[in-house]
Amino acid sequence: MAAPEPHPKPQSAGAPAALRGVVQGLHHVAIAVRSLADAQEFYAGALGLDMGEPEYVAEQAVNVVVAQVGGTRIEFVEPVDGESPVAHFLEKRGPGLHHLAWKVQSVEEALQQLAARNVRLIDTTPRPGSHNTTIAFVHPSATGGVLMELVQDPD
């Protein structure tokens, strides 16, 4: 009798079923922080990550700093006022993992496919994101409790 695999392969690897064929891969992981300066002290100081310059994203009332680690992109998101969705997240849950972002060819097409499957969306139309990206968010109630972002890189 053969020994079982220590980590069996999932039946549907990769993106959620509603996004299969739309998602090209993981774009980034976002961490909500109260202070980018404090985050940089640990992630750059203690871990040695090369962190970029802050970028203000008016649409979301946040400052964003990106660290690239090998093939993984980590975004640190700091609210600039108490009305930012990230400020509400921090108030309710504290600092930590905020969302997973999926790279897509077209946010608009991905939203159409999700809407056709009755997936609950936060955004029904694309909006501007950091670094000239186009984004939209999928509601955590549709994804097992994880806030997910769809990201289309600039051409």
> What is the residue range of 71's domain?
18-152
| Beta carbons of 137 and 148 less than 8 angstroms apart | yes
Domain-embedded: residue 98? yes
Please state the domain count of the chain. Answer: 1
Domain-embedded: residue 109? yes
| Beta carbons of 95 and 79 less than 8 angstroms apart | no
CA geometry: angle at 93 spanning 87 and 99, to 5°?
75
Domain-embedded: residue 78? yes
- CATH number, domain at 146? 3.10.180.10
Domain-embedded: residue 61? yes
How far apart are the C-alpha atoms of 86 and 45, rounded to whole Å?
Answer: 24
Domain-embedded: residue 10? no
Q: What is the value of pTM for the model shown? A: 0.83
Three-class SS of residue 57? strand
Give the tens place of pLDDT for each residue, 29-57: 999 999 999 999 999 999 999 999 999 99
The list of the chain residues with pLDDT below 70 reads: 1-20
